[in-house]
Structure 1
Amino acid sequence: MTPQSHQSVTQRVIADISAQARYAAQKHKAGKLGLTVPDAFVRGIRHLGYRSNVEAIAELVDNAIQAYAEHVDIVFGYEGTESKKKPTQIAVLDDGHGMTPDMIQLAMMWGGTHRENDRSGLGRYGYGLPCSTMSIGKRFTVVSKVAGGLAKQVTLDLDELNGGKYTDDDGDTVIPSLCDAQIPDFLTDYIDRFYPDGWNSGTIVLIEKLDRLDWATTLGFAKHLNRQFSVTYHKLLASTLISIDGDPISPTDPLFLNSSDLLCQIDDDRAVELEPVKFDVAMSGGFGKVFLRYSYLPPSFASIDKNRDAVGLNANERFPVLKDYHGIIFSRNGRLIDCKTKTPWTTFINNDRYIRIEVEFPASLDELFGVTTAKQQISVSPEMWDRLREAGLVKAIEQLRGRVRSLKSERARTPAIAPTFERSNPRSSIGRSQPTVHSEIQQKGAPPSLLLRTSSGALGINLAHPAFGGGDQPDPVALQDALEALLHVLDVRGRERSAARRQIISEILSDWSQSLDPDLSSIANILSP
């Protein structure tokens, strides 16, 4: 960060803290700090309708980014359990400018924000913190401090709310009391490890009594957070580092135009960019620039074996991004909001996964794009669809489709030579690879091995092995038969061994199932003997 930009951020931080003070003074002067709604509303707000826990956590990340945090950490805790398979606590920790003590109480309120209608950042409604936390657990604590101040906290527990703990003598439901911060051990240990200069300012949102988790394991939750946040915040990760239990998230441009992204480096296939388009939009009370980006991908882009389509085990690490962000991607102030598969003129089908389109717009145009309070989806107005058409969006879609069709026809006429694939992501699922001179298992002159490791360290199936048709093998084993044989061995050995061994096998197979398709239901219930 340059001295000039650092000074600019410092000035904005001072202005933001001052705005908090003015807002808090106004609210406290008005009298009692109520939740503004009955406790029935608080119970009902848990069903606001987040698509998943990931979108709920994103609300807290948005708040941290808007507080000029350079680091945002999602940390899992396991208080009350000896197992680390499933969390009992989730914390979002940041090193932003923090909140004054009075503001912490107001931040617990639905609509309690000094940024109401602020179009400069990611949030402007004041619903994100209480709505997102209550959608995951029945208890949440907000700990915060400004530079040079003491950390204070407020806790809201839904069970205690129902028991009348937050009801005053007049029968009104009020904000819980402010007290000195009591940061749990797992977070103090984390801060000691990853904040060597100490936690000098920022906010911690701790969620407990987790009764609405979408994933049965920490591994599954962390995987979805990583994959979705890598795309959602890919433009913002350069200024704010987001980590999950200490592991930084790497950016993934869903148009695959950033050659430094890890998913762009797994093989030689590359996206082709079309000329971007920018146009101005003026409306009553607002003005903004809309930016259109376009790219198209070769039909082998998501395949391991480039001669075949990206189906099943032949899909590489890029395929989930193509699948999840299929259609027109809409980003607001640099943060991805929604992806639309239907427009007034066309509907995107599976073959359209290889055309990539993004519409970037500022928050000043929220009304035209119909941004929802939870920032999960948009409802584009007819006026804006017309403006997008005038900017050439319809013609661009047809042009992109034509180029992908041409590439598919060319591939059908001249099949590519199957290259050697090396998976650069050490967490990627086991894939099928051709042998390489760098293999750690298959060395020159050694007997052929069923498995191999590429130079990147990924474990793969050696398709050159005689069992799979390599050499002169007349009757190769089908991969489906090989998979069934492996499952049979795991099943038999798991039943013969200890309960601990059965548990390990069950977890491995559950993780394997999720790696093939995160939307699959858990298979753990059929793995027990």
Structure 2
Amino acid sequence: MEEVDVAPSVDLLESMRSVGYSLEAAVADLVDNSISAGARRIDIDLEPLSASHVAILDDGAGMSPDQAIAALRLAGSAGERNATDLGRFGLGLKTASLSQARRLTVITKQNEETTGLCWDIDHVRRKGQWSLLRLSAAEIAETPWAGRLNVGASGTLVIWTDLDLLIGDAGDPGEMMRQRVAPLIDSLALVFHRYMRRRADSIKIVVNGNVVVPIDPFLTSNSRTQTSPTQHITIGGSQVSVTAHTLPHVSGLTPEERQRPDLGARMREAQGFYIYRNERLISHGHWYGLARMDEISKQTRVQVDVPNSIDHLWHLDIKKSRAEPPASFKTELRRIISGVIEKGRRVHTYRGRKEVGSSAVHLWDKIRERDGFRYEVNLENPLVSALLSGLARADASRVLRLLESLADALPLQDVFAEMAGNSPVVVAERIESASLESLRLFRDSNDAQPPIESVVAMLKHVEPFSAMSGLEEKVRMVWQEKQVGTD
């Protein structure tokens, strides 16, 4: 049998550009390299005037000339990796960069030696061969941001130029580039939030002069967040950690937290599993078919920590933006999440009701119909019955029709839309005076006056009194009003 050596065409370089990287995923891949190189500061510049370049500069260990050539070798190699390495296929630097630009330049410094290399797609096509350019000292000096690399003892600068796929046919490339800054900051703030929150060796990321503030998707700093004990699962001989978090109801968020899109209008799509590989967020906003993306469960987020030793069991793509769990792991996750999602549901279901057991008397009754449900006013609620008992039959009949009309016109669709957007419920200012009037109505509907302690004990389970603050004090004040009037 005869062997035939088939070298890949230079057209492969163009094909590599179609992997499907977004700007955010491409930059994150380069940040991975910086972190793996031990960087403590990573500066990113999206040139905002003419969109001439994107630059990523780090103060990591840098590379020797041989290491730099190996890093730019298009064949790619995962090589030997330690347990903290963020790499996967050895393709990130090339595929991420060329997915955005036609020219990739890498300038790196180590042991006082500076190396400059460049992949230029147009040059490769003209030559018809895989030709990597080595930059002269003068060419390095002319490269944007190269002067900043000389400040430190070591580091690496990656420059993208001729940004054809990133800019596209934008009429104003500078404006288009400026609009990309904020989404990039938000993405990096989430993907690398655990690296930026470390105390001893935290990493600082700066985008166009803006220091990236980490975004904790689990709101662990909020005292109302409910965090379940971490569970450990063995998959492929390695340990995977699973920690479930139930976020607070919108009323438990601070004003600053409410400004976050993932805690406001986009909270529903932010639920699900958050898959971390060596503390780097790989994938989020999915239940992987194990649960539904329900409005009622949008408070639930599950942190999953996976070591890179079981990469072969996960369907991890080149962009490191999607990870599909193995079948055996899905079985374990299904067991874990059922109780977690139920906890998230209770954040909504029992919101605002201080009920004990099944003896609570609500103002509204939910009526299950064959095709769905509806609400109607509970006529057995003491407040409602007190009102009706004090009216003549004709007047009581008119009030009943009004209550039925109010129930029929209850704006459930609008309420759902507001809650889906995580809009907080604002309590009307009239609630204080209205609560006192309700107590007076209840008081006057009873000829026999039971002890105040008994009244308070009963009203704790009757809406709307169950939601009143300082219920006992209000009851005592209202009952004393009648006693003073009698005296």
Q: For the superposition of Structure 1 and Structure 2, which TM-score range results when normalised by the shorter chain?
A: 0.5 to 0.7
SS at the partner of 2:145?
Answer: helix
* CA distance in structure 2 between the partners assigned to 1:400 and 1:183 by the alignment: 56
* CA distance in structure 1 between the partners assigned to 2:262 and 2:235 by the alignment: 41
1:370 aligns with 2:315: yes
Contact 1:302 1:317 in 2 (8 A): no
Residue in 2 that maps onto 1:290: 241
Deviations along 1:459-498, whole A, 9 cap, x unmatched? xxxxxxxxxxx9xxxxxxxxxxxxxxxxxxxxxxxxxxxx
Contact 1:368 1:384 in 2 (8 A): no
* CA distance in structure 1 between the partners assigned to 2:99 and 2:117 by the alignment: 18
Structure 1 residue 225, shift from structure 2 partner: 1.1
TM-score (norm 2): 0.63
* CA distance in structure 1 between the partners assigned to 2:15 and 2:352 by the alignment: 51
Structure 1 residue 99, shift from structure 2 partner: 0.8
Equivalent of 2:45 in 53, 57, 75: 75
Contact 1:110 1:126 in 2 (8 A): no
Percent of aligned pairs with the same amino acid: 23
Residue in 1 that maps onto 2:74: 110
Structure 1 residue 217, shift from structure 2 partner: 2.5
* CA distance in structure 1 between the partners assigned to 2:37 and 2:266 by the alignment: 29
Structure 1 residue 305, shift from structure 2 partner: 12
Structure 1 residue 319, shift from structure 2 partner: 2.7
Structure 1 residue 107, shift from structure 2 partner: 1.2
1:41 maps to amino acid: L
1:401 maps to amino acid: R
* CA distance in structure 2 between the partners assigned to 1:305 and 1:202 by the alignment: 36
Stretch moving more, 339-348 or 320-329: 320-329
Q: Could you say if the C-alpha distance between residues 176 and 226 of structure 1 is closer, same or farther in structure 2, counting changes exceeding 3 Å?
A: same
Residue in 1 that maps onto 2:188: 229
Residue in 2 that maps onto 1:182: 140
Deviations along 1:224-273, whole A, 9 cap, x unmatched? 111111111010013211111232111111011135xxxxxxxxxx5412
Equivalent of 1:219 in 157, 175, 178: 178
Contact 2:16 2:95 in 1 (8 A): yes
User: Which structure carries more helix by proportion?
Assistant: 2
Which ranges of 4 or more aligned residues in structure 1 deviate by more than 6 Å?
302-306, 314-317
Contact 1:304 1:315 in 2 (8 A): no
Contact 2:268 2:294 in 1 (8 A): no
**Which ranges in structure 2 are unaligned for 5 or more consecutive residues?**
1-6, 168-172, 355-361, 364-428, 430-487
Residue in 2 that maps onto 1:403: 347
* CA distance in structure 2 between the partners assigned to 1:318 and 1:201 by the alignment: 40
* CA distance in structure 1 between the partners assigned to 2:281 and 2:61 by the alignment: 24
1:144 aligns with 2:108: yes
TM-score (norm 1): 0.58
Q: Could you say if the C-alpha distance between residues 154 and 191 of structure 1 is closer, same or farther in structure 2, counting changes exceeding 3 Å?
A: closer
**Is the radius of gyration larger for structure 1 or structure 2?**
2
Q: Could you say if the C-alpha distance between residues 315 and 59 of structure 1 is closer, same or farther in structure 2, counting changes exceeding 3 Å?
A: closer
* CA distance in structure 1 between the partners assigned to 2:195 and 2:249 by the alignment: 27
Deviations along 1:191-250, whole A, 9 cap, x unmatched? 68xxxxx22111111000011226853332110111111111010013211111232111
* CA distance in structure 1 between the partners assigned to 2:156 and 2:346 by the alignment: 50
Q: Could you say if the C-alpha distance between residues 131 and 401 of structure 1 is closer, same or farther in structure 2, counting changes exceeding 3 Å?
A: same
Residue in 1 that maps onto 2:152: 199
Contact 1:299 1:354 in 2 (8 A): no
Deviations along 1:338-393, whole A, 9 cap, x unmatched? 11433333211344332222212211222333222221101112111112234x22
* CA distance in structure 2 between the partners assigned to 1:71 and 1:118 by the alignment: 22
Stretch moving more, 119-128 or 62-71: 119-128
Once the two structures are superposed, the pairs formed by residues 260-299 of structure 1 within 5 Å of their partners are 271-283=224-236, 286-299=237-250
* CA distance in structure 1 between the partners assigned to 2:141 and 2:350 by the alignment: 59
Deviations along 1:282-336, whole A, 9 cap, x unmatched? 42xx422323231222133679699xxx8xxx98784377366332211111011
* CA distance in structure 2 between the partners assigned to 1:316 and 1:370 by the alignment: 29
* CA distance in structure 1 between the partners assigned to 2:192 and 2:15 by the alignment: 30
* CA distance in structure 2 between the partners assigned to 1:199 and 1:315 by the alignment: 36
1:90 maps to amino acid: V
Residue in 2 that maps onto 1:63: 33
Q: Could you say if the C-alpha distance between residues 324 and 117 of structure 1 is closer, same or farther in structure 2, counting changes exceeding 3 Å?
A: farther
* CA distance in structure 1 between the partners assigned to 2:241 and 2:98 by the alignment: 34
Deviations along 1:69-99, whole A, 9 cap, x unmatched? 011110233xxxxxx4452100110011111
2:187 maps to amino acid: Q
Residue in 1 that maps onto 2:211: 248
SS at the partner of 1:330?
Answer: strand
Once the two structures are superposed, the pairs formed by residues 20-31 of structure 1 within 5 Å of their partners are none
* CA distance in structure 2 between the partners assigned to 1:338 and 1:347 by the alignment: 17
SS at the partner of 1:358?
Answer: strand
1:297 maps to amino acid: P
SS at the partner of 1:243?
Answer: strand
* CA distance in structure 1 between the partners assigned to 2:155 and 2:234 by the alignment: 36
Equivalent of 1:257 in 205, 220, 232: 220
Contact 1:101 1:178 in 2 (8 A): no
Between the two structures, name the one with larger relative contact order (CA 8 Å, sep ≥ 6). Answer: 2
2:123 maps to amino acid: E
* CA distance in structure 1 between the partners assigned to 2:261 and 2:337 by the alignment: 29
SS at the partner of 1:217?
Answer: helix
Deviations along 1:80-126, whole A, 9 cap, x unmatched? xxxx4452100110011111101212211234346455543111311
Stretch moving more, 152-161 or 358-367: 358-367
Contact 2:53 2:161 in 1 (8 A): yes
2:282 maps to amino acid: I
1:399 maps to amino acid: K
Deviations along 1:108-146, whole A, 9 cap, x unmatched? 123434645554311131100000000111101011111
Equivalent of 2:86 in 122, 134, 154: 122
Q: Could you say if the C-alpha distance between residues 199 and 119 of structure 1 is closer, same or farther in structure 2, counting changes exceeding 3 Å?
A: same
Residue in 2 that maps onto 1:326: 271
Contact 2:107 2:117 in 1 (8 A): yes
